[in-house]
């Protein structure tokens, strides 16, 4: 599939060039000699067309142990645009605020070429996350996001988490007004339950729902995906690589600093990391057959589920960006998908995806 892989590997050996693994050579070849440009997808029945794979930008400013250099992240974002990515995800909560500012600066030269998604509804109060989706707060949030993103309109505006103190009909009504005023083009919900999605959609059509979805978190298949299919709404999976686990780079010896979100996630404790290596074995076996990487198989599996699903893997590293983009050119046959799914049915994933307090805020 990638004829330059073997040649480049030999050249590297000849000239003493060092790579961390052969996977990087595959990624390089996919980037430099990819068979086609990034494919496009439409989110549900809407007119919103985006690259088949987007870029989640949270980790560039928030949630992990070290905040990367801003100039390096601007370079990475612009490199993504160069390689065909048109869909970028952020939120006012990330930083807070600094992630939106980063995207506003990085994407300014390409604003007409890209789709920016951001989120409202979560703020920090006394060091704790709280939901606030009152209509007056939504107005404050959208004006702040427009300024930080250096744009006159937001392409896709999500409610970050459902606020049980504000009826979703009021939220949808406020969004409807903002669309009428030209401040946003489309709206969506994040980690909402099926009933809430239906109620919101009845007031103002929902373009996309963002939810965690991956080989190790498949709960959306029970209710969310059938609901979205019925209503013509797109799905935007975040953490399609299981917060990095599905790349195969972690094991029971892996350590996470206190400021790294994964340090409080049950699935990243040593026992769970060891028990869940069976998933990595599955991905590695599939990857060898496709001349791909485990992470690319994980993303390709998601892309194969529905044509209106657009994953947004995040990264702060150029080689991972290129690896993730390369997944768009990895096609899994029906037999290959069947084999993966059959193997998944025999695997019990160990550990919760969130601490209890955070999980309680989802599916509402």
Q: Answer with the residue of higher pLDDT: 350 or 64.
A: 350
Q: What is the pLDDT of residues 244-281, one digit of tens each?
A: 999 999 999 999 999 999 999 999 999 999 999 999 99
When pLDDT is averaged across residues 172-182 and rounded to a whole number, the result is: 98
How much is the pLDDT for 363? Answer: 94
Choose the catalytic residue: 2, 62, 64, 94.
94
The answer, yes or no, to whether residue 69 has pLDDT greater than 80, is: yes
Average pLDDT over residues 185-194: 98
How far, CA to CA in Å, does 151 sit from each of 105, 137, 246? 10, 20, 35
The pLDDT of residue 10 is above 80: no
pLDDT-derived band at 2, boundaries 50, 70, 90: very low
**Phi, psi (degrees; rounded to nearest 5) at 125:** -140, 115
Per-residue model confidence (pLDDT) at position 128: 85
In this structure, the number of other CB atoms found within 10 A of the CB of residue 330 comes to 21
Contacts of 239 (CB under 8 A, 6+ apart): 212, 214, 217
Higher pLDDT, 31 or 364: 364
* Whole-angstrom distance, CA of residue 19 vs CA of residue 13: 10
Q: Which domains, and CATH codes, for the chain?
A: 1-35 (no CATH), 39-241+307-328 (3.20.20.100)
Cβ proximity of 31 and 326 under 8 Å: yes
Token pair in block for residue 132: 């606030």
Q: Higher model confidence: residue 53 or residue 3?
A: 53
pLDDT in tens, 93-134: 999 999 999 999 999 999 999 999 999 999 888 878 899 999
Are 94 and 67 in contact, with CB atoms under 8 Å apart?
A: no
Average predicted confidence (pLDDT) for the chain: 91
Are the beta carbons of 29 and 217 closer than 8 angstroms?
A: no
Active-site residue 64, yes or no? no
Q: Express each pLDDT in 148-169 by its tens digit.
A: 999 999 999 999 999 999 999 9
Instruction: Give pLDDT, residue 25.
Output: 45
What pLDDT does 39 receive? 95
Whether 28 has a pLDDT exceeding 60, the answer reads: no
Q: Which tens digits make up the pLDDT trace of 308-326?
A: 999 999 999 999 999 999 9
Nearest CA to 215 out of 320, 344, 312, 54 is that of 344
Could you tell me what percent of the chain has a pLDDT over 70? Answer: 90
Task: With residue 122 as reference, give the H or E element that holds it.
Answer: strand 122-125
Specify burial of residue 185 (Cβ count, 10 A radius: 0-12, 13-18, 19+): middle
Q: Work out the burial of residue 292: count CB atoms within 10 Å of its CB; fewer than 13 is exposed, 13-18 middle, 19 or more buried.
A: buried
Q: Are 118 and 92 contacting, i.e. CB atoms less than 8 angstroms apart?
A: yes
pLDDT of residue 19: 44
How many angstroms from the chain centroid is the CA of residue 293? 18
Percent of the chain with pLDDT over 90: 86
Instruction: Beginning with the edge strand found earlier in the chain, give each strand of the sheet holding 208-212 in spatial order.
Output: 55-56, 87-89, 115-120, 154-159, 184-190, 208-212, 234-238
């Amino acid at each position: 599939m990638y004829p330059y892989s073997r040649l480049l590997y030999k050249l590297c050996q000849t000239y003493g060039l060092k790579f961390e693994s052969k996977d990087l050579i595959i990624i390089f070849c996919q980037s430099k000699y990819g068979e086609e440009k990034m494919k496009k997808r439409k989110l549900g029945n809407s007119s919103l067309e985006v690259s088949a794979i987007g870029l989640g930008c949270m980790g560039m400013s928030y949630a992990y142990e070290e905040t990367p250099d801003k100039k390096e992240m601007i370079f990475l974002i612009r490199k993504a645009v160069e390689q065909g990515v048109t869909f970028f995800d952020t939120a006012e909560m990330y930083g807070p605020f600094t992630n939106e500012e980063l995207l506003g600066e990085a994407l300014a030269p390409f604003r007409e070429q890209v789709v920016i998604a951001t989120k409202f509804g979560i703020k920090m109060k006394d060091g704790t996350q709280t939901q606030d989706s009152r209509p007056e707060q939504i107005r404050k949030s959208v004006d702040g996001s427009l300024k930080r993103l250096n744009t006159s309109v937001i392409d896709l505006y999500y409610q970050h988490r459902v606020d049980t103190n504000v009826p979703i009909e009021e939220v949808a009504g406020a969004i409807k007004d903002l669309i009428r005023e030209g401040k946003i083009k489309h709206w969506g919900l994040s980690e909402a339950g099926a009933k809430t999605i239906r109620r919101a959609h009845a007031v103002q059509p929902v373009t996309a729902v963002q939810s965690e979805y991956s080989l190790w978190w498949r709960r959306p298949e029970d209710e969310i995906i059938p609901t979205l299919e019925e209503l013509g709404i797109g799905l935007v999976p975040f953490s399609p690589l299981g917060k990095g686990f599905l790349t195969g780079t972690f094991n029971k010896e892996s350590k996470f600093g206190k400021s790294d979100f994964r340090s409080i996630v049950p699935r990243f404790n040593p026992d769970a990391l060891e028990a869940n290596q069976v998933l990595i074995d599955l991905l590695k076996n599939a990857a060898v057959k496709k001349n791909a990487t485990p992470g690319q198989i994980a993303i390709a599996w998601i892309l194969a589920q529905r044509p209106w699903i657009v994953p947004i893997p995040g990264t702060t590293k150029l080689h991972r960006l290129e690896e993730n983009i390369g997944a768009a050119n990895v096609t899994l046959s029906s037999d290959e998908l069947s084999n993966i799914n059959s193997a998944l049915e025999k695997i019990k994933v160990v550990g919760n995806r969130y601490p209890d307090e955070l999980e309680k805020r989802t599916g509402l």
